A and B are shown apart, each in its own frame.
Chain A
Amino acid sequence: MADTFFRHRYRRQRRLECMRIERGHFPFLRLALGARRIGQVVLFLTSVVTHAAALEITANQDVGVRELDLTTARLIFGMRLLKWPDGTPVRVFVLEGDSDIHQRFAKEKLQVFAYQLQQAWDRLVFSGTGQAPNQVATVEEMRKRVTMTPGAIGYLPDDYLRDDVSIIEIKAQ
């Protein structure tokens, strides 16, 4: 609840800032803003075409963590760190490896490529030294499973976010 509130407030602030600049008398800025608006339109169109909504790492609400550094996030989704700081088991949920959302998640959030994640899981699973993450078929299933499973972590497009999951931010390093 608090997270959603902060997000809305942040967006509103950004909008206000933009308007403030627009009202000023800086022709260059206006030009730049014009270009930005065209950019936004293009972005909007591409997102309509590819459904490329922003992604967030999400967790079950009982997970006390709201922020992870990149290394730890990679360890968790790489199935190498199996416990949250309070000792509860981590349950990792992912979409199918060739889904666009999964590919984007790997790249944007973990800064690795989806094939690298798959290789890392395969090495664990087929050498008997680890286990694979739980795979879900749809985004809706991901939302439900993360909401319902204690210790769960996954990822969701922005438009699937509800108040019943927490968002985990990747800490800037």
Chain B
Amino acid sequence: MKHGILLLGLGLMTSVSLATEIPKSVQVHGFAALNPLVTTGNNLFGQSKDELSLDFWELGVNGSWRPQQDFLISAQLTSRKAGENDDGKVRLDYGLIDYSPISTPTLKVGVRGGRVLNPLGFFNETRDVAFTRSSILLPQSIYFDRTRDFSLASDAIQFYSDIRSDIGDFYFQANIGYPRTGAVGVEQALLGRDFPGRLDSNLSFLGRLLYERDGGRWRLGMSGGHVGVSYDPDGLSDPLPSGEILFKPLIFSIQYNAEHFSLTSEFGPRAFNTKGFGRARSQTVGESMYVEGLYRFTPRWEGFLRYDVLFSDRDDRDGKQYQATTGLPSYFRYAKDLTAGVTWRFKQWGLARLEYHYVNGIAWLPLEDNPNPSDISRYWSIFGLQFAVRF
């Protein structure tokens, strides 16, 4: 079913584009970013501890075609290398057909199908594009890269509607479909390590309601989902019996945009239920929150300061219970990240960034690059540089 939607989309796209010469309504865009990192305490996206790592980069190219004003066909290929967390293979980030039968100044209604990005928070859909972020790393409590593939896109149908009124504009999106799984990091993050069986997503729902006032001076959002995955063991020899995981994230987003500064905050609970796996049912509710202030010194120079907190279990914020039951350190269950950075948007097509993180706890640290738990440090820091271009 899920591959069906995708193949249908891709099939239509190729058959249509082969049949005609390139029309004016075709656009091609792309981006590339190299993010050299040096960290202390733990590795991040490569062997970065006390040495320079060039193992973290992002690439993408997309095309879109509007054969008629009501239709849009678009696709993006991306490649991301992030140490052992991501392998740099080219992937279809999105590939969709969009049809909006109603489009007036006050109301727009439409539907998209294919591989569609998940509408979560302010930044999920464009998380790989340096130019759409204020920092090298997005606030990891909300946009953690441990399970990024899984949270990024779905093979789905998306219904959307824009309603504009005197009190502001409302944007609504709802996805019904199958979130993308498959990358190594997802199994590692959800199950603890890469098991021989298969992890597949179940039919899931994701949605977002955004409210913008005064041309986007105020932006408020609420997004949530009901997202499931099932583990199917590889025969009897598989050490892990079958099981299901259900996520119910909820994100509240708020942003104020002035000429020289922007204030952004997102927060919310994320419920994590497991069933099966030869264990008792469990429900854990994590908590994420960040507050960011960004100042534009000139249209080209900006700086920001951010505080970002993740608790893996809101009933055990300091991780003491976790430590008592598992014997693993309590700081595996939280991460408090203080970040400061500057961006120089030297041209519309290029930017350079410098960023520093001081982190207490490792709740969102990808473990693939830190395979030995005894080598993991509670206090660690990240120095990052970024060089990004786009067209």
Interface of A toward B, CB cutoff 8 Å: 69-72, 74-75, 80-83, 87, 89, 96-98, 103, 107, 110-116, 119-120, 122-123, 125-132
How far apart sit A87 and B25, CA to CA, in the bound complex (Å)?
16
Interface residue ranges of B132-163 to A (CB < 8 Å): 132, 162
The answer to whether the Cβ of B64 comes within 8 Å of any Cβ in the partner chain is yes
B257 engages A126 (CB within 8 Å)? no
Q: How many residues from B make CB contacts under 8 Å with A?
A: 43
In chain B, residues 86-109, which have Cβ atoms closer than 8 Å to a Cβ of chain A?
A: 94-96, 98, 103, 105, 108
Q: Is the CB of B215 within 8 A of A111?
A: yes
The reply to whether the CB of B300 lies closer than 8 angstroms to some CB of chain A is yes
**Contact at B98–A129, with CB atoms within 8 Å?**
yes
- Partner of B162 from the list A69, A80, A114 (CB cut-off 8 Å) is A80
Interface flag for B57 (CB, 8 Å)? no
Which B residues from 55 to 83 make CB contacts under 8 A with A? 60, 62, 64, 66, 69, 72, 74-76
For B299, give its contact among A89, A103, A112, A129 (CB under 8 Å).
A103
Taking CB atoms, residues of chain B closer than 8 Å to A97 are: 299, 348
Main SS at interface, chain B: strand
Taking a contact as CB atoms under 8 Å apart, the answer to whether A115 and B69 are in contact is no
Interchain CB contact under 8 A, B164 and A75: yes
Q: Tell me how far the C-beta of A78 lies from the nearest C-beta in chain B, rounded to whole angstroms.
A: 8
Given A71-B164, A82-B69, are A125 and B216 neighbors across the interface (CB < 8 Å)?
Answer: no
A-B contact count (CB 8 A): 95
Once the chains bind, are A131 and B299 in contact (CB under 8 Å)?
no
Q: Are A80 and B108 in contact (CB under 8 A)?
A: yes
| Cβ contacts A to B, 22 pairs, < 8 Å | A69-B105, A82-B69, A83-B69, A89-B69, A97-B348, A98-B300, A112-B215, A112-B216, A113-B257, A116-B216, A116-B257, A119-B132, A122-B131, A125-B29, A126-B29, A126-B60, A126-B126, A126-B132, A127-B117, A127-B125, A128-B98, A130-B72
Query: A123's closest neighbor in chain B, by CB?
Result: B126
Alpha-carbon gap, A98 to B347, bound state (A):
8
What are the residues of chain A within 8 A of B126 when measuring CB–CB? Answer: 122-123, 126-127
Nearest chain A CB to B66 CB, angstrom units: 6
Lowest 6 A-B CB distances belong to which pairs?
A: A128-B74, A127-B125, A112-B215, A128-B94, A82-B69, A126-B126
B306 adjacent to chain A (CB < 8 Å): no
Q: How long is the Cα–Cα vector from A107 to B126 in the complex, in angstroms?
A: 25
| Contact A126/B66 with A71-B164, A82-B103 known, Cβ cut-off 8 Å | no
B17 interfacial by beta-carbon distance below 8 Å: no
